[in-house]
Amino acid sequence: MPQLDGQVCVITGANQGIGKAIAEAFAAEGAKLALCARNMEKLGKVEKELTQGGADVLAVSTDVSDDAAVEQFFNLIQERFGRVDVLINNAGAFDGGRLDQVTTEGWNNVIGACLTGAFLCSRSAFSMMKEQGGGRIINIGSISAQRTREACGPYTAAKFGVWGLTQATALDGRPFGIICSCLHPGNVRVERRVESGLTSDDEPMMSMETIAKVALTMATLPPEVNMLEAIVLPNEQLYVGRG
């Protein structure tokens, strides 16, 4: 039997990259999918591909940093599926620069997409999971939440916040059977890196499918078990002592 047979899995930022890879992996395991992203053109293509493969998919254009938009998204999930078994908080944004060069707009964009979005979606999912007797929330963090780099203030702060939110959610969720985990990827060969030339032949990279496999493992653990934190990176990538 598929590992996620009939389970309703919500994935934010599912129009490309890690989010899309997780959606594909979960669909292959029988999950019903509720997907969101800001770019509906790309998200619509993902929806079409997964639906043609036999998956039951709800796709909604959503800015996860917007309270009303998130509420509407989860209302549609409630109407379509009636529950949420797994939430993957994957949506995010990146903007950097030396701290004195970071704009308020850039800061708010990253914090909004990465951290506020994870909070708003977790809050909505938490309420549904509490009523149904439990569920799992998996936040996509980053090794930047563990080891910072130069000129990455907004992203580092956001991902440190996601790790803190994970622990708070895990603690608050215990009485209700709600499990919260954080998956910290290292270098992943996502479209953004390739298109912007941020990859090189000698830079160690993982595939998006590798992260999706880890997310699937975390999502399918027994209900009494939590992999609270997973740090996944290429074996040769600088991590301890990186700068």
Q: Which residue has 């770019």 as its token pair? A: 39
Q: Is 239 contained in some domain? A: no
Q: Is 243 contained in some domain? A: no
Q: Is 31 contained in some domain? A: yes
Q: What is the CATH number of the domain that holds 80?
A: 3.40.50.720
What is the C-alpha separation between 100 and 106, in angstroms, rounded?
Answer: 12
Q: Can you give the residue range of the structural domain that contains 194?
A: 8-232
**77-131 tens-digit pLDDT:** 999 999 999 999 999 998 878 999 999 999 999 999 999 999 999 999 999 999 9
Q: Is 242 contained in some domain? A: no
Q: How many domains does the chain have?
A: 1
Contact 14/20 with Cβ under 8 angstroms?
yes
Give the model's confidence band at 1: pLDDT under 50 very low, under 70 low, under 90 confident, else very high: confident
Q: Is 238 contained in some domain? A: no
DSSP output for 168-228 = HHHHHHGGGTEEEEEEEE--B--HHHHHTT---TTS--B-HHHHHHHHHHHHTS-TT----
**171-206 tens-digit pLDDT:** 999 999 999 999 999 999 886 655 555 555 668 899
What is the C-alpha separation between 92 and 89, in angstroms, rounded?
Answer: 9
Amino acid, single-letter form, for residue 65: S
Q: Is 3 contained in some domain? A: no
Q: Is 85 contained in some domain? A: yes
Q: What is the pTM of this model?
A: 0.95
Q: Which of 26, 74, 81, 155 is catalytic?
A: 155
Annotation says 239 is catalytic: no
